[in-house]
Structure 1
């Protein structure tokens, strides 16, 4: 919600943090609706989140020390594209926002900087690497990797020993996780290509999140993607995977890249020299992420969800590699469990069996409705004979223990049909909760008697609420022990309206 045409910064940050909205996407949507963003509030919310969460808090707490490390040692040599392990030198350590020369307490959270690294720092929607950094007398676990103005910062904790500035260490990326991230990132490019094929060129990327064999991809599209379209998109992706096309990397001027048709991310700012990732002859994108050598290494891609995230923006979540295979197997296992529960010998018989059960249920409901109607009819005369008379009007307030809400409606309708000038309040207990229904004849409604007033006051007694039309209203409550009191209250409301 906006206040005075300004979107609160905290809400914009929550969209970014929780739902993955890049800031430029929110800006664009805000511009479309002639709204502004409270950027000061956004930055305050961002800093507060970092302070509370710890992860990434170096961006706020340790900016000064990190800047000093960069000034003394220069930028980190980035080798994540070529290597997953390398010998390096520790050039900086930051603990609790302060630069230190050594760390010797196990479990201490540290921001560690090397002169060169094989670790990928979170950017472009791709999560940072994890892994280990080992020295002659120390072991450091990397839990996250971030970028900071030319530095690659390894955030983690000391596992054992003492680590010092100047130590020679061996930095190793967690290879299995990196491989899953590479599969997911390459699959996002294949997904982008497939979206263009199925939905059209307007389906442009609006944001992404790439993790270990999991991808989340936001794109422009004005309607829900239909099940048939999802299948076609998934088919195209897996066809491209099966082709095993070469994934090639090239560096060129941004102008040349655009002339060659490379796709750029909406709202992203690019340097004059860019990295272009191509797959076969069908995909070419500006991208700084880690990728596979050929599309076949993705193995399998399975779309698991498609949803709306904003006006004109949809989101697809998909699994790749082993995670995708596990999802398929989980689905098969679930289907087999359903088949067993339905007592069908083959899983392919499940739809037929479900339809059969639905038909049986429909028939049973029809039979139950007939029984309910007959059961209700048996009570109508008894209830009318026991009605309280106020002039020519009849007040009926009763508890009925063996009817559901539909049964209460049927009973109320029959009482109003057979009786004259009837005001009804019925109560029952369904799954431990009170159900109330009030109904009033049309002639009494004209005299100012309202079912809504009756049920509203009665519901208060049993700890609930409700309402409806003057001639028919329903409510619920929690305290079944006070049903009689609620019925008495309803009768009082009717008497008052009739007096």
Structure 2
């Protein structure tokens, strides 16, 4: 058989099934679209579940894909073995009620033996032991020799998950040869050894299992197949490890070059190289699909992978961020099949580099603290790290719990996970309590599910609509009538009220007829029905009544101005900052707009001014705003910007502002950009790792913002007894006075430090030949002053340990220092200071020769410092 590259195999597979009438679909994103049951796509059929379950109509009854997938349950094994990985590609061909067993078995054999040219004498087929129909097809229709077929039980060759669609499956194996076998007489397909490799699974979904355990035949059975691309590449290239496959090996070699190592020379370095190689593949694809590092959900998966890889880089001696450079190799190897890697590369690179730099700032200190914990456990003959310490590493130093567990495992230790989880739950509870209950219970319950059909929305063109009351909700249930003073939810057959969606808040206004008048306080949407939250102001409203719905037009217009400004803002940000900018959230009200976007550093004043100016230029051009529906494919062709995580149907709504901004959006907008009046940025700041936020205003909001600024300016001028015109000059003069005062303070502090030098070593104790001085100095000394005293004393003393403290504002500043000679003998400033600070109700740490900490209880200072000589004695072993 011909040795084929991974990219060649992928293309041959997809082209083959296209020739059999299949629609080739691009890989779906790793972030599931509209499927809350999955954190990440982990199988080729996962994105196609709505088609298999009949919830959506597939674009074709025959589909073929190469789906990118992430699985992390075996992450601890990645690197230790040659086959475990978190990222993989799954080739598949699928039938949604079209062809079945006869065609799929025939095509599978044709592809394997004719296209890939794998010799038939190296192939085996397994079938479900009760599936005689499939055996006959393999033998009589395909021509497989009966002695090459193996019968396996339900555990191996029957696919089902609880109740619902299920069925038998048939797997195809490659025989690698006796040299890979276990040598046992009964070694055959199904054996745990490395000889027989399963590489293609054909699932025949032909039953519907009910709650009584009955398997009922489906009228339209389906086909779901899956072949691991990396696994078949191993076979075609004659290698035993996924890390030897051509595209993956080139990533591994690049990592080895960075570490100045040769793969295959040392087991430990090989493990690290494999971890880095696998994890950077996962990382690049996750970031490209819109996942950002965080401490929750799929963001945590990404952070865990990134930080695990970064730590293994440190184990190999690679200094500083390096994974972002490897990202280019990954993109180069896969960009032909996944062009989004090239389109999003600047974004990918910046996300990875930012997270590496963030972790690099704390990893050394965290590793030092964890090492201290491990040493303490060994000294006490213990093997379990307390959950409180693991939580501190996570919360303060950004160590994922899995990384802590992995490092502990290297010393045959573990962590008290129950205590850690309890602390995590407490933290989440506090966060939930802080957020409060954001939703009213009546909004959560779908009490209107009994009414068929959806609410017709007329609000793009109308501000007033005649409608019929379909249902009234009150106190969590349905009611036929509501009277003055009642707070209710009303569902209409049609409405002009926009329901909160896409960051735009819901409309307000009135519902009225001859019998009643209701104030609409908010509008939301649930399962296709618009829910109008109302207060009955007068009269009685009844189910079935005809009513006039009128929105607050002025409020709607103000919201529309801010929403259109968000579109202009995103386009300007992409022009000024780069194409990596992507929407991460938005909020649009009548008062202001908020836009969250992917970017990895604070914007400069010049950049903010440039963005603001560009938006205002487009406002003054008075560009027409065209809103229209089209196909998703056509929208993509004209360059419409879409959200990473949004699920779109076949028909989408496009909001187009000339050629400057083209976005998919269901919100309400102005007729032309000139209606915005002006745009003003109020603030810019960070809200999460790699996510920035801009708040701004339009129209009258700009005038209000300018009035507010002018009022502040006059107040500041008055406070400084000058005029607004002279304010800057006045402030410059005050700055000069302040600088002079600081110079005098620094001189006084320096004198204070010199005066203290002579007294610190008075009464110093000698411990094993090392001078130990622990003194509480005069109040008011900051850390810099204490460090200056300590540094001067270290220069004067050859072999000494110095611990100094000073009360400042009801707390205590503490520094500890050890000379090189003292540290060489075993003295450790960081460990000394951790004990001293703890006695004073504080904490801190550092390196053997220098450390600093803070204490909360000055009354315990003398007691804490009295421990220092004893701690040094323990460290020196005297």
Deviation at 1:136, TM superposition (A): 4.0
Identify which of 838, 848, 852 aligns with 1:474.
Answer: 852
1:238 is aligned, of 613, 616, 625, to 616
Match of 2:467 in 1: 88
Q: Structure 1 pair 482/253, CA: closer, same or farther in 2 (3 Å)? A: closer
* 2:504 match: secondary structure: coil
Answer yes or no: is the 8 Å Cα contact 1:133–1:170 preserved in 2.
yes
Greater CA drift, 302-311 or 122-131: 302-311
Identify the residue that residue 342 of structure 2 maps to in structure 1: none
Q: Is the 8 A contact 1:277 1:287 kept in 2?
A: yes
In the alignment, which residue of structure 2 is the partner of 1:68? Answer: 450
Question: What is the TM-score normalised by the length of structure 2?
Answer: 0.46
Match of 2:764 among 359, 376, 387: 387
Which of 123, 130, 134 is the equivalent residue of 2:508? 130
Residues 141-173 of structure 1 deviation map (CA, whole Å, 9 limit, x = unaligned): 323212345432212344554321133434332
The corresponding residue for 1:461 is 839
CA distance in 1, matches of 2:834, 2:467: 74
Tell me what 2:754 maps to: 377
Distance in structure 2 (CA, Å) of the matches to 1:80 and 1:118: 4
2: CA distance, partners of 1:435 / 1:222: 34
Give the Å deviation of 1:107: 4.0
Which region of structure 1 is more displaced relative to structure 2, 187-196 or 302-311? 302-311
Cα distance in 2 for partners of 1:437, 1:262 equals 59
Q: Distance in 2 between matches of 1:56 and 1:27?
A: 37
* Kept in 2: contact 1:240–1:295 (CA 8 A): yes
Correspondence for 2:572 among 194, 204, 214: 194
Please report the RMSD computed on the Cα atoms of aligned residues, expressed in angstroms: 4.2
- CA distances 1:242-272 after superposition (whole Å, capped 9, x unpaired): 333444445566676666x362524555566
SS at match of 1:212: coil
- Cα 1:432–1:297, aligned 2, differ >3 Å: closer, same or farther? same
Task: Say which SS state the counterpart of residue 467 (structure 1) adopts.
Answer: strand
Give 1:120 deviation, angstroms.
1.1
1:210 pairs with one of 585, 588, 593: 588
What do residues 25-60 of structure 1 show as CA deviations (whole Å, max 9, x unaligned)? 999235999x9799xxxxxxxxx99x96444854x5
**1:478 and 1:32 mapped to 2: Cα distance?**
34
Q: Pick from 280, 288, 301: which aligns with 2:666?
A: 288
- Helix, strand or coil for the counterpart of 2:822? helix
SS in 1 for 2:761: helix
Partners in 2 of 1:383 and 1:208 — Cα distance? 59
Distance in 2 separating the partners of 1:436 and 1:104: 69
Stretch deviating more after TM superposition (455-464 or 377-386) = 377-386
CA distance in 2, matches of 1:477, 1:220: 39
- Whether contact under 8 Å (2:570, 2:583) holds in the other structure is yes
State the secondary structure of the residue aligned to 1:263: coil
Partner of 2:871: 493
SS at match of 1:194: helix
Secondary structure at the counterpart of residue 190 of structure 1 = helix
1:119 to 488, 493, 497: 497
Q: 1:98 to 1:370 in 2, by over 3 A?
A: closer
| Change in CA separation of 1:331 and 1:26 when aligned onto 2, cut-off 3 Å | farther
230-239 vs 364-373, which moves further: 364-373
CA distance in 2, matches of 1:379, 1:436: 15
Cα separation, 1, equivalents of 2:599 and 2:838: 47
- SS state at 1:163 partner: strand
Any idea what SS the aligned residue of 1:428 has?
strand
Q: CA deviation at 1:433?
A: 0.5
CA distance in 2, matches of 1:92, 1:374: 81
Query: Are the structure 2 counterparts of residues 84 and 348 from structure 1 closer, same or farther at C-alpha, using a change threshold of 3 Å?
Result: farther
Query: Does the Cα contact within 8 Å between 2:641 and 2:662 map onto a contact in 1?
Result: no
* SS across alignment from 1:162: strand
Matched, 1:228 2:612: no
3-state SS of 2:290 partner = helix
CA distance in structure 2 between the partners assigned to 1:424 and 1:299 by the alignment:
66
Indicate whether 1:483 and 2:483 are aligned: no
* Shift in alpha-carbon separation, 1:463–1:85, aligned structure 2, 3 A: same
* 2:679 equivalent in structure 1: 301
Q: Alignment partner of 1:68: what SS?
A: coil
Task: Label 1:272 to 1:412 Cα distance change in 2 as closer, same or farther (>3 A).
Answer: closer
Q: How many pairs were matched up?
A: 465
User: 2:707 corresponds to which residue?
Assistant: 329
- After superposition, the Cα gap between the structure-2 partners of 1:101 and 1:467, relative to the gap in structure 1 and judged at 3 Å, is same
* Contact 1:126 1:289 survives alignment (8 Å): yes
Task: Quote the offset at 1:434 in angstroms.
Answer: 1.3
Return the offset for 1:182.
1.0
SS at match of 1:66: coil
Aligned to 1:154: 532
Shift of 1:430: 1.0
Maintained 8 Å contact 2:507/2:523: yes
* Cα 1:442/1:357, change in 2 over 3 Å: farther
Deviation (angstroms), 1:362: 4.1
1:444 aligns with 2:829: no
Q: Give the Cα–Cα distance (whole angstroms) in 2 for the partners of residues 457 and 202 of structure 1.
A: 47
1: CA distance, partners of 2:604 / 2:549: 46
CA distance in 2, matches of 1:32, 1:496: 43
SS at match of 2:867: helix
Mapped to 2, the partners of 1:252 and 1:199 lie a distance apart of: 30
Deviation (angstroms), 1:235: 1.1
CA–CA separation in structure 2 for the residues paired with 1:256 and 1:423: 73
**Higher relative contact order, chain-length normalized (CA < 8 Å, sep 6+):** 1
Instruction: Give the number of the structure whose residues are more often strand, by fraction.
Output: 1
Equivalents in 2 of 1:334, 1:165: separation in Å?
53
Q: Determine if contact 1:335/1:347 at 8 Å carries over to the other structure.
A: no
Report the equivalent of 2:132: none
Corresponding residue of 1:400: 777
Corresponding residue number in structure 2 for 1:101: 480
The answer as to whether partners of 2:713 and 2:724 remain within 8 angstroms in 1 is no
Alpha-carbon distance in 2 for matches of 1:312, 1:459: 35
Q: 1:196-217: CA deviations, max 9, x gaps? A: 5445666565654322242233
Contact 1:202 1:220 in 2 (8 A): yes
TM-score (structure 1 length as normaliser): 0.77
- CA–CA separation in structure 1 for the residues paired with 2:631 and 2:846: 67
The 3-state SS of whatever aligns with 1:178 is helix
